[in-house]
Structure formats: structure tokens, C-alpha cells
Amino acid sequence: LAELRRSMPRGVFSLSTVVRLSAQMLDAIEAVHDSGFLHRDIKPSNFAMGRGTGSASRTLYLLDFGLARQYTNAEGEVRPARPVAGFRGTVRYASRNAHANRELGRHDDLWSMFYMLVEFASGQLPWRRLKDKEQVGIHCVH
């Protein structure tokens, strides 16, 4: 999706496209969470559109589970939080919890998705030019 957005005039998707993408992103993230996992690296380049014709070309896929972590135990209960979890994710799209090195939860994947949607609709995030992880974490909105 990152490449697709950059190819758009003004680098933004239409509002209707953002709404349609958000529904599919939410479904994909929900499927991961329902399996007992957190993705922990939700960002545009980890989503891809299907290839081919018809509905296949309009299907969104979630990719790259390299930072995924199981958040439930064998009984399906949420695992206790670690005192310090370490940063996981991509600085630009990471939640404030990630920037604070806190244990991540399902809501943190959703914050990352929200930041993506803001960028899709407006073309940028307020902290886009910041490189320092701590500075980005201060500017993230929750």
C-alpha cells in the first residue's frame, strides 16, 4: 500500500478508498488477534493488494509476521505484561506504548492502523520529519 499511495496524485487516497481499505485492514488485524497474536508492525508496506482481475485485485493482504507475538497462553488467557518489553515496530507508525517500551496489546495494532489511515487521507503524519524515536513518541497522538 505504501507504493500504491505514493503513486497517487498528491500522495493521498480518496476518502472512499480509505474507508474501504480500513474495513479490510480491520478484518485482517482482527483475524490475527483472533488467532492469539499481535502483529506489532502494522504499516503500509506490510499490506498488499491482490493481483489478477475482479475481486482478487481488490483484496487486501497483511504481510510480514516477523515481529508478531502470541499474547494468549494455551488456555486462551491474555499473558501477563512484562515490566519492560523493548521497542517493536516501525517508528513512524508505532503507538505511544511501543515508544515507551511497554508491553503491546491489541489496541496498539489499532493505533498503528489509525496512523496509517491519517497518512492515507492527508498524505502525511505530523511527525513525518522526525527521525529520533523519542521525539516521535512524544508527538504521537492517543
Residue type at position 60? L
We report the CATH number of the domain holding residue 85 as 1.10.510.10
- pLDDT band of residue 107 (cuts 50, 70, 90) is very high
Secondary structure of residue 88 in the 3-state scheme: coil
How many Cβ atoms from other residues are within 10 Å of residue 119's Cβ?
Answer: 22
- pLDDT band of residue 82 (cuts 50, 70, 90) is confident
Q: Quote the CA–CA distance of 123 and 17 in Å, as a whole number.
A: 13
Total tally of structural domains belonging to the chain: 1
Residues known to be catalytic: 41
- The boundaries of the domain holding residue 68 are 2-139
What's the pLDDT score for residue 77? 92
Who has greater pLDDT, 81 or 25?
25
Q: Quote the CA–CA distance of 123 and 116 in Å, as a whole number.
A: 10
What's the pLDDT score for residue 132? 63
